[in-house]
Amino acid sequence: MIITKTPLRLSFVGGGSDMKAFYVKKDGMVLCSAIDKFVYAIVKERFDDMIYINYSEKECADHVDKIQHDLVREAMKMAGVSKGIEITTLADIPSTGSGLGSSSSITVALLHALYTYQNILVTAERLAMDACRIEIDILKKPIGRQDQYAAAFGGVNQFTFSPTKTTKRTPVKMGSSAKRKFASSLLLYYTGISRSADKILSNQEKNLLSGKKFKTMEKMVSLVEPFKKALKKEDIKECGMLMDLNWKLKQQMATDISNTKIQKMYNMAKNAGALAGKIAGAGGGGFLLFIVLREKQTAVFSALKEYRELPFMLEESGSKVIFDDRAYSSK
């Protein structure tokens, strides 16, 4: 049995510029962090040749092409596994519509477990690239490239996406004091809305391709370097101002990114003293992220008491194998 553990992520500024519709014309750039909420992929060899898949549903297939779970199917093909296996995926939070990059984390976790099953040693770069190939190139999902890299590498990073499809990772080096101060200012709340991001992302992609919102995205990208500098200076108020501006710009990128419930939560937190708020993913639901100074957090907790908070910490580690009990390999 092999078990991999792969983190989810939060994006602070620049999100959306990792989409091909933007970075084919101009470098995209995001600043994001892995968090200590995880997805797990469990792979176990079977005595027979059947394929068993366990997630929110159960599947049993005698051929890889008959698997309905598209991420499992394509990860098996990419790793060269075709039969005699049982695969289970688990997540710390609901894996659909969270806005925390869960589908990409699942893809990275599956690839990591299946490559390990095949005795293939892979780097974080390879995991991220192969996950992008599956989700973007093979399955044609209207998503970007930051989630796969955040899941594979872990940590707080600036990612730059170029027209050549290369992704440059620049770790954001903060002192322990700066990191503690920033992490302790972050609050995450569930909106109670689970949604598919595909429609919103498709609309955003169309707006970028048509040029309607290209300059808006350029403004969001321009916030990345100042945000990184503010982090290093421990200037939480500046981080808040920049993330709040990013949210205002993001809402212009497509319809349905925000809605009355999201706006209500945002206004309640801001009125209670939050410096900034933004939706965690593409929009429409999932989790809302806030930056709140420690002295204002009691008021924000009270204002949002009817909503569920998700306590978390920033996570340094990317995807890793946490269990492999095979005494020998038959591969």
What gap in Å lies between CA 1 and CA 146, rounded to an integer? Answer: 30
- Domain 176-309's class? alpha beta
Q: CB-based burial of residue 195 (10 Å sphere; 0-12 exposed, 13-18 middle, 19+ buried)?
A: buried
Q: What are 43-79's pLDDT values in tens digits? A: 999 999 999 999 999 999 999 999 999 999 999 999 9
**Domains 2-173+316-324 and 176-309 belong to one CATH topology:** no
Q: b/e for 258-271, b at 16 or more Cβ within 10 A? A: bbeebeebbebbbe
State the sign of the Cα–Cα–Cα–Cα dihedral 283, 268, 36, 59: negative
- Decide if 320 contacts 122 (C-beta within 8 A): no
The architecture CATH gives domain 2-173+316-324: 2-Layer Sandwich (3.30)
- The domain limits of the chain are 2-173+316-324, 176-309
Q: Cα torsion for 88, 91, 92, 94, to the nearest 10°?
A: -140
For the stretch 87-98, pLDDT in tens is: 999 999 876 778
Q: Report pLDDT digits (tens) over 14-44.
A: 999 999 999 999 999 999 999 999 999 999 9
225-268 per-position pLDDT tens digit: 999 999 999 999 999 999 999 999 999 998 888 899 999 999 99
